[in-house]
Structure 1
């Protein structure tokens, strides 16, 4: 979601990239005109400060107009860069072979666990509109209400059972039409959700592998079927077929007769719905040489050469099938393919208004009426995305006879939708600007002319597309009803959904029909034929993110003493959900920073002293937890948060990673280190008020950007990459002093002890700054074909990095994200699969505790309460009492 404090970054709030088994998108996206351009990122950073004032003064239109039309293109450019970076960490410098994740999970099952259980810290409602934090720089009062992480699959029945799948959080079940959720897939090796579907027998199908080619999408381990979804839980033995769909993403499941079709990142597959054993049949892939095992499997573009987005089956003849195939950035193979009588596939054409050519078929979604009388489609055009700065949406179409082969008629384009109550029309870009990432389509099962459409916003037509409304606008800020001061509103701003739509379903509860939508802020519902105001905006959305469903996607965590209420304050940066804050006695979390949340620094002695990164090192600081003082001011000079971004932030991706590293010195909390192209040092701590107060300690070099930083007693370690994608990937470590002296690059040859993979985290021995550990991301050479991939995930140096020793020992071969010294001398390691523990003096690793879901642990931090905190990217923040490991008591 955009933040009023941070210009119009609708695209960057979406993500940072597809992970397991995929390669970087940067080179391939760039070839289709979507690569990042440094001058555009710089332009965005410069105009952001204007946007704060104008929007909160009620003059959103003038603020956006001042930024220029080209800024809509900037959003797409920055998103492409963001999309690349999460993947780069896990794959560069090569291609990861299928089976890497499954092998690591299998090894994990046989490892010993320490005693003790993890506690779920963020199992509380998260109110993005919390009035306590209605600072001029927050998203509060935008209308999203209670939020959680990205929901990418929804299924609902007619008895009040609703199933919601988190992007990397697994499946949750509600028996009350939404709310009071219970996780039901935590025993599976993958919690990444591609889609959910109920079949005619009311079995729940769970396709793993998130299909968004966006920020933090993880591939899965196949499709699972739960025969009794109202009472049961998924188990590994519920998998359909064999390992054919491992290490891929799944966009859609479509049922026809006794067959289920799957649109995946490796083409189209099918399987019997009556016999669930036996392998999946590979029906079609446009470029088979690029599939795993193919002659061109090691090509950097291979993951994008066989993407299937959806499948439409003729309701009158299940042998007539139409495939929508193609990479969102464009490729010669993009298009629609029709099944022939002999079982072969050929490009389709002559379908009426529905595009069929490679330039105009990108991400496409179909939706059929229950009676087969209508078939709808929404299409994102690669050509439009490359040339139109306002929108990538080609259009919405209907086949009024229900046949995939039409004739099709255009019923909406972005200009029609923007005039239907969209909140984007005043923002300098239009509906469909992210249609490569935001899409859903659903037909009312009782009315073939009643359709819900999801892009950045939720749209609705009740007459087959002749007219549209926007029941779920992006946010309320542009509307006359809005004011930062509730007492000064000119009307009642109705609740809306969070932005960026991904999933939809229709179900019933207690005799009433509901529309359920999933987006970057969780899951919401409204009556199927709900009420709207004069602007066509719904008056009846209900957030179902009640705290029992925690799919929050954290990048970071910070913990400090709560001097007001006692206990500790826990905060962290989130994908598209700002910065959450949970204080000592809170029963509901609030949001004290808007937009995306990146890395975090929190004062252990005072949790209200917090520094939070937006993206690209755009750092903000507060010394009162960002609490609103009651004045409801729109004057940024009286805000409770201050922008203190170092100069590299103005260079966008050329100056810093999308989520760039920041850290406080372990011995001097007032000394901070921030990593972009340069290593920046701040010696004023939380009293800093300007980006000009940073000093440049070291230049990592042209094309190099920091990936991890750590400091202890003034000794600073900075890991970097550049180039950071597969083609020419290089990494390094620089060491020096915070005062700018003594800097040098370590000798890390490509085939050296420390692999040529992404440096993801450091921690320095508090007793000896020359003693340091480094965590290395990606899979080892066993699974990665790139040069210098090497082996190992944790390395130790006792002489300031001059020499390194691989201490990975019995760890599973899985990307490592963060490493942390523990009191008593032990070591904790957070990975994409679990958190591990190595006791002081030991060489072997154990799984740390019990109860932590199998999702990515992005950051580990110790708190002043003697607990270890884990920021997971899909299941919130968890804590573990590490004192039990050494027998110490609190």
Structure 2
């Protein structure tokens, strides 16, 4: 079964949080842009070829085996795109070198010392977001896919038998529900890290939080350690309740496991343990396969250091807690990968005796364990580096059971990707089958009341009630492609049941009012169903409930657009999201809708008409609408009769643009747009553009270079670029010219490092003078980055059209700066990975704007009247701030 031709790749890049340091993925993990172009009438967003024609590629491979480019013009390769987008997100923050641990923690402390402006932030997206909004049901949205209400990625879940549920998000902290899910409250806002790696409730009812998302995607940040909440029904996390010292700062934490009076932590820096009774004192390093690569070691500065001590999970024998098995290894393979246990006082790799569970390093990658409550069964999911690097269909080695209850086995395979695909999965086509992203998607849970009743999460949710003899796809990827679905509701052959969002990460089982529920966390938020729920004839669950009721806002925005709502007054707010398309909130809406699917990149909205919208998918795949993409009732799949149009610049077809590529409108003329890939492009038809052929090439940045930021005012254009963009020879530069194609040239940046050799992330042009411009610079200064030319500073100013620059960072914390905007009062607001800062007119020092949690703000824009500042956060939705309150 192939996925329908009019659906785009919904689920791609994997997300973010702000914390103590950034996860870095080596050049190894990147993928070439999967093909794009106009071969299909549905443009580069279509989903069909993703399933049908995924070429033989290596997914997230080692540095010795870079990912190959998919050859299909229309579908592309979602698994490769995830790795590519993740790699590029990391490049911006790490190049030209390796960032030392503790960089984000130091920046957070510096930010706390800044003087605050007046005023406060207001969240405008704290209401339900309906991915199935019927107003936008067409082939450019995911409406009717079945995921319902969504929010940002949930990395971990926990629950108890008193109806309390805890959801740990990738970038927006930990949330609590007292009602079995829903009616959420944030409980970790006071911590310096809002990135969740693991959540666990111990036998005494305490809630343990391991910070630092561990899905090895590069727009996830490292954490600040492990915290305990003694009374989770009522309290909130405090930095004072951190377990141990600073040993686990700047790590990711994949799992927390308990046994023998200890809590064990599987981290990106090996396996550690700590007493569960005495929370003070140091963590003990139990095992690191390559200790020389740990901080302080002789090879700590090696570019591969972050990948040399990754631990994925820990299995503790319930009969003898001294018997422990460690699952260790980088997802794409390394000679240290494998299962380890202690023998003769030393940790040694298990080389035989595991049964079907592989012992060789090539077949042990990302692993998740789960133990039955009665101790009679152990289960495991194993992602195989060999499969990942060679098999175009899936990276899943399999699902296994140890019927002895011991983690040493013997283990028996009870599922593989072909069997799961045959169980009415939505992923049953060559090139995209269950486990294709097993390095990123995994969870496993056993029903406490039945050792043979198991839930497994990959891209979808699977259930077995007989210990793995048979499986059901209870949470299919989506409803597209099943007989119950048609784009025209009148032609559906049945009613599709709600499903979960795809890409599963966290799971928990708890009780509410006497009923046991399974809670799952994925790229669309949190969902639940009764543990013993109902299924239809295909084995799909009929009883999923979305818990994303709007009281929890962990949406991960890349961009924001604001325009007047001509139909209802006020403004319309749109934004591009990680894995949740494009949101649209009109002034009379009580529920946000999703009018475009896929990942949402940059956004352009006509200030004079909020229904004129340009939405970028990835790699400059731009779509435009002039009616908010509202379906006209025709249910057509004919793009010539559509309410939106594919208008991608040519660099999209040649894969010469970044995953999230820059797109901007001229500040003085909203009909002139600038886009950047290898080339700088312009088009002058505004929102009336109907074809990619209407773009005009302005300037060729050069082979191997690609634009990182563009801006224009009154016809003057600024473009920043990098190439190479990773830390292997990183280079950057600025080109300037005019929108009519004249006057283009590269600026000669001085060799004295006035502008650092780091990723140039954004321009802010003075609306009164196009030659007066500010530049934001990502990454960390040389105090944290060991790389040539890392320099210092994050905000620079030019008064001569970019010819010369001056560092105006002053007391700005040393933290990646993502964008900036000149406010109506002449001040300058800058977005950073830890919030927003502001420099008042005529001042040199910066202030902290409001009191956001430690969340990244990727873009700032102002309202059409200039009175309101809008912040697109990558983990806590969109916020507004009154400009008058800045001074």
Q: Same fold (TM over 0.5)?
A: yes
Aligned-partner SS, 1:669: strand
Match of 2:322, SS? strand
2:788 equivalent to 1:793? no
Give 1:102 deviation, angstroms: 1.1
- Could you tell me which of 77, 81, 87 is aligned with 1:78? 81
Contact map agreement 1:481 1:490 (CA 8 A) in 2: yes
Q: How does 1:30-41 map to 2 (within 5 A)?
A: 35-37=30-32, 41=34
Q: What residue number does 2:828 align with? A: 827
1:663 alignment partner in structure 2 = 664
Give 1:570 shift: 0.3
Note if 1:603 corresponds to 2:606. yes
Between the aligned partners of 2:42 and 2:668, the Cα distance in structure 1 is 38
Q: Could you list the runs of 5+ residues in structure 2 that have no partner in the other structure? A: 58-69
Matched, 1:200 2:203: yes
Match of 2:90 among 68, 87, 92: 87
Report how far residue 215 of structure 1 moved. Answer: 4.6
Alpha-carbon contact 2:21-2:105 (below 8 Å) kept: no
Alpha-carbon distance change, 3 to 211 in structure 1, aligned in 2, over 3 angstroms: farther
Q: Tell me the CA shift for residue 96 of structure 1.
A: 1.1
Partner residue of 2:326? 323
Closer, same or farther: CA 126–237 of 1 in aligned 2, 3 Å: same
Q: 1:767 to 1:423 in 2, by over 3 A?
A: same
Q: Which residue of 2 aligns with 1:770?
A: 771
Distance change (3 Å), C-alpha of 1:121 and 1:601: same
The whole-number CA distance in structure 1 between the counterparts of 2:632 and 2:663 is 28
* Residues 691-718 of structure 1: CA deviation (Å, up to 9, x unaligned): 0100000011110111111101111111
* Structure 1 residues 627-649: Cα deviation after superposition (integer angstroms, max 9, x where no partner): 11122223222211100000101
Q: Secondary structure at the match of 2:509?
A: strand
| Distance of 1:389 and 1:663 partners within structure 2 | 36
Equivalents in 2 of 1:763, 1:321: separation in Å?
55
Please list, as runs of the form range in 1=range in 2, the aligned pairs for 1:807-846 lying within 5 A after superposition. 807-846=808-847
**Is the 8 Å Cα contact of residues 15 and 82 (structure 1) preserved in structure 2?**
no
CA gap 1:387/1:801 in 2 versus in 1, 3 angstroms: same
Paired position in structure 1 for 2:558: 555
Give the C-alpha shift of residue 359 in structure 1.
0.4
Cα 1:11–1:333 change in 2 (3 A) is farther
CA distance in 1, matches of 2:563, 2:743: 32
8 Å Cα contact 1:73/1:388 also seen in 2:
no
Q: Deviations along 1:469-501, whole A, 9 cap, x unmatched?
A: 000000001111111222322111000000000
Q: Do the aligned partners of 2:206 and 2:229 also contact (CA within 8 Å) in 1?
A: yes
CA contact (8 A) 2:797 2:808 kept: yes
Is 1:231 matched up with 2:226?
no
Seen in structure 2, the aligned counterparts of structure 1 residues 28 and 635 have a Cα distance that, compared at 3 Å, is closer
What's the secondary structure of 1:813's corresponding residue? Answer: coil
SS of equivalent residue, structure 1 residue 384: helix
Secondary structure at the aligned position of 1:416 is classed as: helix
SS of the equivalent of 1:409 reads strand
- Which residue, out of 633, 645, 650, partners 1:647? 650
CA contact (8 A) 1:338 1:348 kept: no
Structure 2 partner of 1:442: 445
Contact 2:265 2:271 survives alignment (8 Å): yes
Match of 2:855 in 1: 855
Paired with 1:348 and 1:46, the residues of 2 have a C-alpha distance of 51
Conserved? CA contact 1:400–1:406, under 8 Å: yes
Aligned-partner Cα distance in 2 for 1:48–1:116: 50
Please name the residue that 1:413 is paired with. 416
Name the SS for the 1:449 alignment partner: coil
TM-score normalised by length of structure 1: 0.95
Aligned: 1:377 with 2:372: no
Does the C-alpha gap of structure 1 residues 751 and 339 become closer, same or farther in structure 2, counting only changes over 3 Å? farther
Aligned length: 869
CA distance in 2, matches of 1:215, 1:227: 32
1:143-542 superposed matches below 5 A? 143-426=146-429, 428-542=431-545
Report what 2:714 is aligned to: 713
Between the aligned partners of 1:65 and 1:23, the Cα distance in structure 2 is 32
In the alignment, is the contact (CA less than 8 A) between 2:779 and 2:817 conserved in 1?
A: yes
**In the alignment, is the contact (CA less than 8 A) between 1:6 and 1:48 conserved in 2?**
no
SS in 2 for 1:12: coil
Q: Which runs of 5+ in 1 are unaligned?
A: 30-34
Distance 1:4 1:88 in 2: 34
Q: Bigger shift: 155-164 or 73-82?
A: 73-82
**Pair 1:867-2:868 in alignment:** yes
SS at match of 1:81: helix
CA distance in 2, matches of 1:600, 1:53: 16
Aligned equivalents of 1:20, 1:727: Cα separation in 2: 24
Q: Which piece of structure 1 moves more, 179-188 or 421-430?
A: 421-430
Q: Distance in 2 between matches of 1:700 and 1:17?
A: 32
Query: In 2, are the aligned partners of 1:249 and 1:264 still within 8 Å (CA)?
Result: yes
Could you say if the C-alpha distance between residues 532 and 286 of structure 1 is closer, same or farther in structure 2, counting changes exceeding 3 Å? same
- Residue 571 of structure 2 corresponds to 568
Q: How far is 1:529 from its partner?
A: 0.8
CA drift of 1:602 comes to 0.5
Conserved? CA contact 2:45–2:617, under 8 Å: no
| 2:517 partner SS | strand
User: Displacement of 1:864 after TM fit?
Assistant: 1.8
Say if 1:4 and 1:139, in contact at 8 Å, map to a contact too: no
SS at match of 1:395: strand
RMSD over equivalenced CA pairs, Å: 2.0
Instruction: Tell me how far apart the structure 2 counterparts of residues 337 and 395 of structure 1 sit (CA, whole Å).
Output: 19
Partner of 2:63: none
Matched residue, 2:113: 110
Deviations 1:14-54 (A, max 9, x none): 4599996457424233xxxxx5346xx23x54555468999
2:65 is aligned to none
Give 1:750 deviation, angstroms: 5.6
Q: How does 1:740-755 map to 2 (within 5 A)?
A: 740-749=741-750, 751-755=752-756
Aligned to 1:32: none
Distance 1:756 1:15, change over 3 A: same
TM-aligned CA deviation for residue 426 of structure 1: 4.1
CA distance in 1: counterparts of 2:51 and 2:350, whole angstroms:
42
Is the contact made by 1:17 and 1:87 (CA closer than 8 Å) also made in structure 2? no
**Does the alignment pair 1:135 with 2:138?**
yes
Instruction: Confirm or deny: 8 A CA contact 2:362 2:386 kept in the other structure.
Output: yes
Aligned counterparts of 1:827 and 1:26: Cα–Cα separation in 2 = 34
User: Counterparts of 1:474 and 1:427 in 2: how far apart (Å)?
Assistant: 16
Judging changes above 3 Å, is the alpha-carbon distance between structure 1 residues 124 and 682 closer, same or farther for their aligned structure 2 residues? same
- Deviation, 1:556, is 0.1
Looking at structure 1, the residues matched to 375 and 270 of structure 2 have their Cα atoms a distance apart, in angstroms, of: 25
Preserved CA contact (<8 Å) 1:620 1:642 = yes
CA deviation vs aligned residue, 1:844-890 (integer Å, no higher than 9, x gap): 1111123x22200000000125210000000000000102335xxxx
Cα gap change, 1:349 to 1:162, in 2 (>3 Å): same
Quote the offset at 1:834 in angstroms: 1.4
Deviation for aligned residue 1:12 = 3.4
Distance apart, 1:350 and its partner CA = 2.1
Following superposition of structure 1 onto structure 2, how do residues 664-683 of structure 1 map, counting pairs within 5 Å?
Answer: 664-683=665-684
Distance in structure 1 (CA, Å) of the matches to 2:880 and 2:693: 36
Cα distance, 1:96–1:458 mapped onto 2, change above 3 Å: same
Question: How far off its partner does 1:169 sit?
Answer: 0.4
Cα distance, 1:540 vs structure 2: 0.3
